[in-house]
Amino acid sequence: MLDGKHSDGLLGGRSKVRDLAREIYGAVEGAAIISPHGHVSARSLAENRPFNGPSELFITPDHYVTRLLHSIGIPLEQLGLGDEPGDQRSVWRRLCENWHVFAGTPTRYWLEDSLSRVFGIAQSPSAHNADELYDEISSYLGAPEFRPRELLARFNVEVLATTDDPVDGLEHHEHLEQAADLPTRVIPTLRADAYMAPGTDTWRERLHALTDVTGQDCENYSGLLEAIRMRRAFFKEHGATATDCGVRDAWATPLSRRQAEVLHRQGLDGSITPEGVEAYRRNMLFEFGCMAAEDGLVMQLHAGILRNHHTPTFERFGPDTGHDLPLVASYTEPLRELLNAVGTCPTFRIVLFTVDESTFSRDIAPLAGFYPSVYAGAPWWFLDAPAAARRYRAAITETAGFYKTSGFIDDTRALCSIPARHDASRRLDATYLAELVSEHQLEIDDAHSIMQALVRDIPHAVFRLS
């Protein structure tokens, strides 16, 4: 039987703590979901077409699922990736046949919760019932109430942020804004990472596309900066409150305009060195921070990721296919010049994420504990498992408190996992607060107030959603 929806799941092991956690969690269990950072596409919501089947809903878009199945030897093309997605029923069978592989992982908790919450399924997937479950879920997916927009409304998602390229025309967001059947506020988030890495054909193609959209000559560095500013303003006009940025390291080191122009030209003619690429990227990160101080868009930064670790997989299947891997990260010294420039500016705000949890207590909490502009992002990606989330609370709270954190971030492409992930976070936070109450470090009324803030007030304030 599925156990992800046990009424006391993640609410602590000791009876006194569990009783308190149950009370604290119960007060926010049904609260609206604020999702200020995610990857559900605006196009899928605007088109609102039925899902093709369980595999499209639960497996193919979720690299948490595909990467672990790939790790036991299942080729990605058998999981629906690639130009020819193949038979959806066969993809579903791969998950069910290997259900045991997910034991003890947060992915299994999210899947179990989704199967139970959305479809009322109480059986654990297995090789024996794979076809039965496929047919049962498919029978639901044909109904109007199981289309993407209807699911968002059913999940009580109040705000959903997407992630979008600067050249995106945001026509899907405009459509959603006019959709009478969607109570969710869907807002864009500008992500310009790809414009920071010169010297590749992809970079040059993106500059040409940006020139076409803005009319700015992006073959010179000054034109690129102006074009990015224009797109930031365009996104802001269409409801954006934040940008997103993922980089290998967090160094934000400014160059002179002349130095940057030289590297830009070298990127265009292909003569730029790896050292030049690094210097250009670090300078662009500094520039993006200064732009955030100018226009007030919240800067989200996650550093310490080596993208596309396995080159053959990237060349065949593209990005976001499960092999972006963690590096040792640091923020304190790398961000010093940026924070000296804008760290106390009232309009500047930066949310720091990491997959290197040593940085929670060493870098992120101390920075958030001093700079008004710095907030500690939620446990993210490899760290959104229950044990890591508990360590995050302990590492951050003692230095920065609760109110210099971001609120929960689900960071998902898998639509049905949104309520599961937020519910897990609420349970874990309720348990942490219950521990503080049981140890007489916090009054129960304070715990309730903090819990309400973590769910609603803090993400609203940090991401300037009001």
Last residue of a domain, one of 111, 129, 146: 146
Q: Per residue of the chain (466 residues), what is the pLDDT tens digit?
A: 444 457 899 998 889 999 999 999 999 999 999 999 999 999 999 999 999 999 999 999 899 999 999 999 999 999 999 887 778 999 999 999 999 999 999 999 999 999 999 999 999 999 999 999 999 999 999 999 999 999 999 999 999 999 999 999 999 999 999 998 899 999 999 999 999 999 888 999 999 999 999 999 999 999 999 999 999 999 999 999 999 999 999 999 999 999 999 999 999 999 999 999 999 999 999 999 999 999 999 999 999 999 999 999 999 999 889 999 999 999 999 999 999 999 999 999 999 999 999 999 999 999 999 999 999 999 988 899 999 999 999 999 999 999 999 999 999 999 999 999 999 999 999 999 999 999 999 999 999 999 999 999 999 999 999 8
First to last CA, the chain: 42
Q: Do 387 and 405 belong to one domain?
A: yes
Q: Do 247 and 278 belong to one domain?
A: yes
Q: Do 316 and 332 belong to one domain?
A: yes
Number of domains in the chain: 2
The answer to whether residue 36 is domain-embedded is no
Which residue from 132, 172, 121, 167 is spatially nearest to 148, judged by alpha carbons? Answer: 172
Last residue of a domain, one of 94, 121, 146: 146
Residue 209: CATH number of its domain: 3.20.20.140
Q: Which amino acid, residue 345? A: C
Q: Do 71 and 186 belong to one domain?
A: no
Class of residue 193 by CB neighbours under 10 A (exposed 0-12, middle 13-18, buried 19+): middle
Query: Which residues, at least 6 apart from 106, have a Cβ–Cβ distance to it below 8 Å?
Result: 64, 384, 385, 386, 424
Can you give the pLDDT at residue 5?
55
The answer to whether residue 21 is domain-embedded is no
The answer to whether residue 14 is domain-embedded is no
Model-level pTM?
Answer: 0.96
Can you give the pLDDT at residue 364?
98
Q: Do 208 and 328 belong to one domain?
A: yes
The answer to whether residue 30 is domain-embedded is no
The answer to whether residue 44 is domain-embedded is no
Q: Do 356 and 446 belong to one domain?
A: yes
Last residue of a domain, one of 124, 146, 168: 146
The answer to whether residue 348 is domain-embedded is yes
In which domain, by residue range, is 119 found? 52-146
Can you give the pLDDT at residue 416?
94
Beta strand 33-35 with 350-353 is: unpaired
The answer to whether residue 286 is domain-embedded is yes
CA–CA separation, 260 and 276 (whole Å): 9
Can you give the pLDDT at residue 4?
44
The answer to whether residue 35 is domain-embedded is no
Residue 98: CATH number of its domain: 1.10.2020.10
Q: Do 81 and 184 belong to one domain?
A: no
Q: Do 348 and 297 belong to one domain?
A: yes
CA–CA separation, 164 and 189 (whole Å): 6
Q: Do 159 and 235 belong to one domain?
A: yes
